[in-house]
Amino acid sequence: MIANQKICVVLPAYNAAQTLEMTFREIPADVIDDIILVDDASTDDTLRLAKSLGVFAVAHDRNKGYGGNQKTCYRLALERGADIIIMLHPDYQYTPKLLVPMASMLCCGLFDVVLGSRVLGTGALAGGMPLYKYIANRALTFIQNILLGYKLSEYHTGYRAFTRAVLEALPLERNSNDFVFDNQMLSQIIYLGFRVGEISCPAKYFSKASSINFSRSITYGLGVLKTSITFRLARSGFDRGTIFEGLGHRMGFDARDPP
């Protein structure tokens, strides 16, 4: 715990048996109170390995996608009493050594969400991010900063920490079960006026780390643009039938207040 806050790490997993133990061994057990792994119908030994490591693990009976996996992760974390929830990919792409700093940024009450940014500093290209992904990341982030009226170094990191109040306020079931879930979720967070902080995060790109291919990257990019345009329209009063419908705005709220 930090400041009497129960800290939970969620691991959305799919065929992560080769990297799970490396990830798990670096999670600071003296600070992290709970670890949850959701296996999205893997075809390898991810579930068995997780249980052998003492991780609370459940498996989907069919593949529900990256976004669908996260929905289960967050539901379980809230059910198990988490105050701070940090999503960490079990493919060892993001370092678990930043779990404590990220949790601390939330526990101090200054932020409601913390992102591990690969772009702050030199982490992305130095860690092996393909050049086309880096260029796409920068272009999409530039567009989103304009359309969302915010300023982040990147919107596309998979290393994210949330307070309980954030997850309870978001209509996550409205969002996609695919990779664009991350972007939809972050856009809803900004729409609601939650405070988002960033921390520089080195990332590793290697053969065992998961990564979407070029065609799925294109699909993701189009989904990001759609989300950003929908955000701008919703802010102009055209929110009916969108993922932002009825959310309103909460700028100036106290993160400790109930949603």
Q: What does the angle CA 101 – CA 18 – CA 103 come to, to the nearest 5 degrees?
A: 10
- How far lies 174's CA from each of 67, 170, 182, 184, 242, in Å? 11, 9, 12, 9, 8
Calculate the average pLDDT of the chain: 91
Query: Does residue 31 form part of some domain?
Result: yes
pLDDT given at position 233: 96
Please name which of 123, 113, 105, 102 lies closest in space to residue 187, comparing C-alpha atoms.
113
Domain of residue 85 covers 7-128+154-178+192-210
Q: For residue 52, give the 3-state DSSP assignment.
A: helix
**Where residue 101 sits, what CATH number does that domain have?**
3.90.550.10
Q: What tokens appear for 125 in the block?
A: 């290209």
Q: How confident is the model at residue 249 (pLDDT cuts 50, 70, 90)?
A: low
pLDDT at residue 22 greater than cutoff 50: yes
Beta carbons of 116 and 98 less than 8 angstroms apart: yes
In terms of Cβ atoms closer than 10 Å to its own Cβ (0-12, 13-18, 19+), residue 236 is exposed
The alpha carbon dihedral of 35, 110, 120, 183 has a sign of positive
User: Mapping DSSP to helix (H, G, I), strand (E, B) and coil, where does residue 211 land?
Assistant: coil
Q: 252 in a domain, yes or no?
A: no
Query: Within a domain: residue 109?
Result: yes
In whole angstroms, what is the distance from residue 157 CA to residue 86 CA?
A: 13
In a domain, 36, yes or no: yes
- Whether the full predicted model's pTM is greater than 0.75, yes or no, is yes
- Within a domain: residue 34? yes
Question: Is 255 part of any domain?
Answer: no
pLDDT tens digits for 134-182?
A: 899 999 999 999 999 999 999 999 999 999 999 999 999 999 999 999 9
Spatial separation of the C-alpha atoms in residues 32 and 11, rounded to whole Å: 13
Residue 234 lies in a domain: no
91, part of any domain: yes
Q: Report d(CA 190, CA 184) in Å as an integer.
A: 10
Number of domain units in the chain? 1
